[in-house]
Amino acid sequence: MKLKKIIIFILLNFSIFCNAQNFYNTDTIQKIEIFFEQADWDYQLDILKLTTDEYLTSKWVIINGVKFDSAGVKYKGNSSYDSSNLKNSIHIELNNIKEQNYNGYTDIKLNNGFADPSMIREVLAFNILSKYMDCPKSNFAEVYINGKYFGIYSNSESINKTFVKSKFQTSNNSFIKCNPIVTPGPTVKSNLKFINNDSNSYFNFYELKSKRGWTQLVNLCDTLSNYPSNSHSVIDIDRVIWMLAFNNLLVNMDSYNGVFAQNYYLYKDYTNRFNPIIWDLNMAFGAFPFAGSPGSGMGTLSITQMQQLSPDFHRNHTDWPLINIIFSNSIYRKMYYAHLKTILNENFTNKNYMSITDKYRATIDNSVKNDDVKFYTYDDFANGNTKDVNIGNYTVPGIKNLMDYRVNYINGLNEITYTQPEISLVKTSPETPVYNSKIIINAKVTNTISDSVWLGYRFSNTDKFIKIKMYDDGNHDDGSLGDNIYGINLTMTSANLQYFIYAENSGASIFSPERAEHEFYNANVPIDTVKKGDIVINEFLAINDKSDINEYGAYTDWIELYNTTDKTLNLSGYLLSDKVSEKGKFTFATNTFIYPKSFLIIWADDFKNSQKGIHSQFSLSGDGGQVVLCKSDSTILDSITYSAQSTDISTGRCPDGYGTFIEIEIPSFKSSNNVVCKAFGLKSINKSNEITFFPNPAANWLEINSTNIQTANVQIFDCLGKVIIEKKLENYKTTLNTEKINSGIYFYKIYNNKNYLIKMGKIVISK
């Protein structure tokens, strides 16, 4: 019986684990149960929605069998919300009162299927969008409230700080929701159009999700409206193009492309550019027909007009500055049509979207059939691809009805039929690059024109792509002049090179890979397995008063690691701590590399949410302590237990990598200790705390006090390395005559008869 209980426990927890791992898996339907103690919970949710927009605290929420007490719940949505609805969209905040999450997610966003007879629009649209830009994951969920089944919902990932951290490796930069705070209308848009320099003028049109950002938003709007040629410096143009092309092709008018120019976020990344992030796709595929028009018109589209919506719609309408910018720049315009054609070919021309819709419809068929509070009939759902449904004020097209006609229309446009360049045989030489050496990128490009092939490259996900021309002139590692093999070379200054190729002719362009910049080619320096002794703690400073400053201008503790090998090594997932008993205090981020014979600095300053450099979640004690470096499995690679440090005097190996630790009065931050070691002796012993100097600064004499050191010598050097004084130390106390030494900074070393270094540092003579 005991064994049976153990097996049941294991199976139950394994099931919960698997469900957690698949929360946005489109092959599964999530089960979300909400229980309120308030009998009038629906009324209270309506009141909160219409007044404070705060959460109503539930007794519990259960997600796939995992229970969460006191989760916050509220209704959400604009056009999808109505107090008379039996089924409203829901926002669940798991950590509203308690710190709790489901597989790392704290926000659950559930959409009720308003204006979507097919019930799959949002999940299908996010599935397509995810191929081309960062966006929320989305699938389906069955929702139960106080035991009653409220039907199938789309379950879409929340765009919050957790989301942007996962996409941009930072979460504290400017973060803006682009939806009007007041009721949107034809003249109330979140369109990034410049109003004036007063940030108060923007409060009704945007919602700040970060502590700061209004001034940056104003500057963004000013640049886009008044200095459009500089737009690339303030916003990621490639993401803008993908967003606009996607919205247009899928007739997603409840977006930037439509009348309200809304339903997207902006996040400012490490490159100081804003990145658009699309959200709320439940009315894609023509379920929102209001495209907008110049002035105050809603721009209502008929189904025929949706099917034939021009890809450059709004190109001359000044209320959509992003669209103006793309179509007024010949290169951006060609890029737009290249991206549009990629989405078209990969999803619609090949009918791939139909197999996906069939799969989704089969997945949720029974859930829809049992949904008694849905907005439309089961027949509407079953025929959602081919049936146009009148929902009151307008008719929503069947997805297939819309897209089959739309595919034929767009495929007939000159911009699409124009023959694109062809890019093939993309390769790097050597195929396996070497760090800090030359790497050559080649590609065969045909049907292009002179000076119209570019390489986009970067060495980190947090960098922007640098664009440089590739050549077919025989002088750039490209073979022979005019052989259609283009080339360029770079220096491999990182372990990972990310790159793509872009080519154009007079009428069209193409990317390789076609999903660039979202996808790209990689060239990677081989990363060796780390063995003990490969990476060592080389130097550290626990009391930094005036020695070295971090990226924020602060003097903080630091730890220096050293790669003793000739290989690039990967620290991803490795651990660093100030206690052997708590090895996991700090975990190195993914793709943290330390290069051959190079140094890596970790600021031990307990900076929270740092966006620059490497900052551990602990600081070092100046009174003595430990530094411990471990593999991800807690195997210790290197460690040191140290005694009290003096201000601005570091502890470091002499020589680098394998020497014993000594005091270094002039810390060699992120550089070799060997300069000091060579000047003062190549070997060392840890007896430096047994020697003191008085006074320092000195004038005419300098006293050296020593204990338990029977035989040792002292040398005083000037800044050129010339020996000024050399003397054998007497036990306990030795006095040096410095009367004839000029004022200045001098260096000393104390070593024994075997030439082992005991102590080194600097003294000051002041007269």
Portion of the chain with pLDDT greater than 70, in percent: 93
Q: Any idea which of 411-420, 479-488, 644-653 has the lowest mean pLDDT?
A: 644-653
Could you give phi then psi for residue 446, rounded to 5 degrees?
-125, 165
User: What per-residue confidence (pLDDT) applies to 295?
Assistant: 83
- pLDDT-derived band at 32 (thresholds 50, 70, 90) equals very high
Single-letter code of the amino acid located at 682? L
- Average pLDDT on 203-211 reads 97
- pLDDT-derived band at 373 (thresholds 50, 70, 90) equals very high
User: What per-residue confidence (pLDDT) applies to 685?
Assistant: 45
pLDDT surpasses 60 at 682: no
User: Which parts of 518-617 fold into alpha helices (H)?
Assistant: none
User: What per-residue confidence (pLDDT) applies to 550?
Assistant: 84
What is the rounded CA–CA span in Å between residue 456 and residue 500? 5
| Superfamily of segment(s) 685-767 | Macroglobulin (MG2) domain (2.60.40.1930)
What's the mean per-residue pLDDT of the chain? 91
Q: Any idea which of 75-79, 112-116, 248-252 has the lowest mean pLDDT?
A: 75-79
- Average pLDDT on 635-647 reads 92
pLDDT surpasses 80 at 707: no
pLDDT digits over 530-588, tens only?
888 999 999 999 999 888 888 878 899 999 999 999 888 999 889 999 999 899 899 99
Fold adopted by 422-525: Immunoglobulin-like (2.60.40)
Architecture category of domain 526-680 in CATH: Sandwich (2.60)
User: What per-residue confidence (pLDDT) applies to 84?
Assistant: 95
User: What per-residue confidence (pLDDT) applies to 547?
Assistant: 86
Helix (H, G, I), strand (E, B) or coil at 94: coil
Q: Any idea which of 12-26, 382-396, 637-651 has the lowest mean pLDDT?
A: 12-26
pLDDT digits over 58-82, tens only?
999 999 999 999 999 999 998 899 9
Same-fold call for 422-525 versus 685-767:
yes
575 Cβ contact list (under 8 Å, min separation 6): 583, 584, 585, 586, 587, 588, 628, 629, 630, 631, 632, 634
What is the rounded CA–CA span in Å between residue 696 and residue 732? 18
- pLDDT-derived band at 251 (thresholds 50, 70, 90) equals very high
- pLDDT-derived band at 13 (thresholds 50, 70, 90) equals very low
User: What per-residue confidence (pLDDT) applies to 759?
Assistant: 76
- Average pLDDT on 488-492 reads 96
- pLDDT-derived band at 710 (thresholds 50, 70, 90) equals low
pLDDT digits over 403-435, tens only?
999 999 999 999 999 999 999 999 999 999 988
Convert 663-719 into a string of H (helix), E (strand) and C (coil): EECCCCCCCCCHHHHHHHCCEECCCHHHEEEECCCECCEEEEEECCCCCCEEEEECC
User: What per-residue confidence (pLDDT) applies to 611?
Assistant: 60
pTM of the model: 0.81
What is the rounded CA–CA span in Å between residue 547 and residue 544? 6
Q: Count CA atoms closer than 13 A to 44's CA, side-chain side.
A: 14
* Domain spans of the chain, in order of start: 23-157, 167-361+373-417, 422-525, 526-680, 685-767
What is the rounded CA–CA span in Å between residue 718 and residue 85? 86
